[in-house]
């Protein structure tokens, strides 16, 4: 949901006053002619979809002495606090090879998901253990100088160590996880690794994967509640096979026990079991790094309205960013033979730059015209947000192309 931790922050310390251009009615921008080849420069504000809580805004609110309850009430108006617990199943996206491998440790067990039988793994020579699918069974092996088959179990299987962390060996390197590590299959039949973990342990691995650990404690507490709420909502509404949510910014970033921090653990413990609710149900507590000064409405939920964010600052990491794309990038993204025209058709009218882009018109040399959403344009071209303007279009020679 957020990319806040993926970008370095230069936080404004003197003032958190909002600096935005006056709101203007939603209208079409001037059309742009696109030469072949062309370089297109885009300028914008914000980072992410802008729905719900702004992490950078929560930082600003905490600096103005709001507590986590006040921060949550501002970003999710009309909601209350409730309780949630249990476990959550998280896809470990980096472990995308053919087996699940962990370092050997005391207390290690394996459990068959078909029979429910749990066995102790106590081979003294073992340095690592792995689960490898074998048809409808799971081959359990250990490593000394080479791999040895220890047992073959029915169905999928999972490893655990009585609540103590396991070190998972992924293609990207080792990561520690609490709970159990399960080798199972997704809806397409691909082997996946899933961390089945108690909710509070999960939240500890999320908070400072999403926010900096030295941020104000009240901002971290707001993040802990929002993250717990988001996970609880996904668990209750998922249609995924084998897991509830992923561990990347497509859901919310989760780094397991390796990502825990003193500040994040303190925030998690101080808000234990707390979730945002609406009408007695767990809310869909979306959040993003920065909303650019104005939240975006999710029309499905009244507690996710469009509103001015008085706590957002003007960090250069999120305000006035630029991105450069080519005509070829757009042609490839939308399967257009030769792009000759580009125009922002409509905006929502909220905040700076006339508001977020709702529609973009693309014109090809054949006379074809197509309209894509601002969100599609953002995602396909890797832009930080839909709060953007097309600053310039230049030919290969670098000469700007005049606006009609």
Task: Kindly list the domain boundaries of the chain, sorted by start residue.
Answer: 4-50+313-395, 53-87+199-285
SS3 of the chain: helix, strand, coil, percent, to 5: 20, 35, 45
Lookup result for tokens 């959403």: 373
Q: What is the pLDDT of residue 314?
A: 79
Q: DSSP state, 73?
A: H
Q: 298-309, pLDDT tens digit by residue?
A: 999 999 999 999
Q: 181-222, pLDDT tens digit by residue?
A: 999 999 999 999 999 999 999 999 999 999 999 999 999 999
Is the pLDDT at 1 greater than 80? The verdict is no
Given pLDDT bands bounded at 50, 70 and 90, which one contains residue 11? very low
Is the pLDDT at 295 greater than 90? The verdict is yes
Q: How many CB atoms lie within 10 A of CB 198?
A: 15
Secondary structure class of 330 (helix, strand, coil): helix
Residues 288, 384: Cα–Cα separation, whole Å: 11
pTM: 0.89
Q: 282-292, pLDDT tens digit by residue?
A: 999 999 999 99
Up-side HSE of residue 403: CA atoms within 13 Å toward CB?
A: 9
Q: What is the pLDDT of residue 317?
A: 83
- Residue 212 makes CB contacts below 8 A (sequence gap 6+) with 4, 5, 9
Q: 123-157, pLDDT tens digit by residue?
A: 999 999 999 999 999 999 999 999 999 999 999 99
């Amino acid at each position: 949901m957020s990319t806040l931790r993926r970008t370095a922050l230069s936080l404004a310390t003197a003032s958190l006053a909002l600096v935005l251009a006056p709101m203007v009615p939603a209208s079409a921008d001037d059309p742009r002619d696109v030469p072949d080849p062309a370089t297109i420069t885009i300028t914008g504000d914000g980072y992410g979809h802008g729905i719900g809580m702004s992490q950078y805004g929560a930082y600003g609110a905490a600096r103005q002495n709001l507590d986590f309850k006040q921060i949550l009430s501002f970003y999710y108006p009309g909601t209350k606090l409730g309780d949630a617990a249990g476990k959550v199943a998280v896809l470990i996206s980096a472990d995308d090879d053919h087996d699940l491998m962990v370092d050997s440790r005391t207390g290690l067990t394996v459990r068959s998901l078909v029979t429910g039988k749990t066995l102790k793994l106590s081979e003294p020579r073992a340095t690592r253990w792995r689960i490898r699918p074998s048809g409808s069974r799971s081959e359990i092996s250990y490593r000394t100088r080479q791999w040895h088959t220890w047992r073959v179990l029915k169905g999928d299987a999972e490893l655990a160590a009585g609540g103590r962390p396991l070190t998972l060996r992924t293609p990207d390197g080792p990561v520690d996880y609490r709970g159990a590590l399960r080798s199972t299959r997704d809806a397409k039949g691909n082997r996946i690794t899933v961390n089945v973990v108690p909710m509070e342990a999960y939240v500890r691995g999320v908070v400072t994967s999403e926010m900096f650990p030295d941020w104000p404690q009240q901002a971290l507490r707001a993040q802990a509640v929002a993250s717990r709420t988001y996970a609880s909502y996904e668990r209750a509404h998922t249609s995924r096979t084998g897991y509830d949510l992923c561990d990347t910014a497509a859901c919310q970033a989760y780094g397991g026990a390796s990502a825990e921090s003193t500040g994040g653990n303190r925030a998690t413990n101080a808000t234990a079991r707390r979730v945002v609710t609406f009408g007695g149900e767990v809310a869909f507590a979306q959040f993003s790094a920065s909303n650019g000064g104005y939240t975006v409405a999710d029309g499905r939920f009244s507690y996710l309205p469009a509103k001015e964010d008085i706590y957002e600052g003007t960090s250069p990491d999120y305000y006035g960013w630029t991105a450069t794309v080519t005509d070829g990038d757009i042609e490839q993204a939308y399967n257009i033979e030769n792009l000759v025209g580009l125009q922002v058709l409509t905006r929502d009218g909220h905040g700076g730059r006339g508001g977020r882009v709702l529609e973009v018109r693309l014109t090809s040399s054949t006379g074809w015209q197509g309209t894509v959403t601002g969100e599609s344009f953002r995602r396909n071209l890797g832009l930080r947000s839909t709060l953007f303007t097309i600053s310039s279009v230049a030919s290969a020679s670098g000469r700007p192309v005049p606006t009609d």
